[in-house]
Amino acid sequence: MNVNVRNNYYASPRYSSIFYDPWHLRYPRAWYPVHPLSPRVWWQPAPAWEYTWGWFSAGFFTHYLVDRALRPVPYYYGTNVYYVDDMVYVNGEPYVSASAYYAQAAEIAARGQAPVTIVVNVEAPSAGVAEVAPPQEEWLPVGTFAVVKDHEAADSSMIVQLATNKSGHIAGNIINMETDEALPVYGAVDPETQRVAIRIEGREEIAECGLWNLTQDTLAVLVHVDEKTTEEHMLVRLSDPEQEELAP
């Protein structure tokens, strides 16, 4: 647990303004649910594992046994998931090639990229087209995390906020505190492997971790820079700044 990262965030004046009004007005490209929720909600951690998995709709894990689904599958990169030459090993057994593992991550992330629905006015085509707003959905906050590359780092300029809907889609934002920029992220949970893969809008890198790992306060994520290059980063959970101010 990286206490220094948390303490430095809580001491920063920039930290207290995240997600609170008028945060979304300052970042028009940022993601937020069609059905608005209290800003405080986005600081909430993911609930206990049983509730997190139970959040998804029945159709999400159709064909998967419930008792199997309830067993979390932890992902510890370098320990139970690791690379040897061009092969990825899972729990000591050869799994797939490195390029195939990357392709799997890309495919999972793409599941969460909501297509834009275009509507043409058939009575007046010259009026142009309009995008249809996505339907209102329920979103379960997964939490807000500081992103660090070094396990011993004392500070970070990047934070990521994540949520999931009942179909296993992941959405949220990554926020660069130095450049004052917020970009949406999208991705999905794979119900068979419990593997989560996300991508920043407009970027090629793909980050992955286990769904169970996202319920923890600190976790490792594997970042696929490209098909052949990976980096390991760490997420450190942050909490609501208003609650921190109330803490003794």
Domain boundaries, the chain: 3-246
Confidence of residue 3 (pLDDT cuts 50, 70, 90): low
Q: What is the pLDDT of residues 72-98, one digit of tens each?
A: 999 999 999 999 999 999 999 999 999
Confidence of residue 121 (pLDDT cuts 50, 70, 90): very low
* Measured distance CA(21)–CA(165) in Å, rounded: 23
Mean pLDDT for the stretch of residues 13-28: 76
Residue 63 pLDDT greater than 60, yes or no: no
Mark out the alpha helices in the chain (DSSP H runs): 3-11, 23-26, 49-55, 66-69, 98-111, 241-246
Q: Give me the chain's average pLDDT, please.
A: 81
What is the length of the chain?
248
State the pLDDT at residue 152.
Answer: 67
Residue 58 pLDDT greater than 50, yes or no: yes
Residue 109 pLDDT greater than 90, yes or no: yes
Residue 119 pLDDT greater than 50, yes or no: no
State the pLDDT at residue 151.
Answer: 67
Mean pLDDT for the stretch of residues 173-189: 91
* Measured distance CA(18)–CA(32) in Å, rounded: 13
Q: Which residue has the higher pLDDT, 32 or 167?
A: 167
Q: Which residue has the higher pLDDT, 60 or 66?
A: 60
State the pLDDT at residue 138.
Answer: 84
Q: What is the pLDDT of residues 122-150, one digit of tens each?
A: 444 444 444 444 556 788 999 999 999 87
* Measured distance CA(29)–CA(12) in Å, rounded: 24
pTM (predicted TM-score): 0.84
DSSP codes joined into one string, 32-92 = --SS---GGGGGPPP--HHHHHHHS-GGGGTTS-HHHHTS-----BTTTEEEETTEEEETT
Confidence of residue 69 (pLDDT cuts 50, 70, 90): low
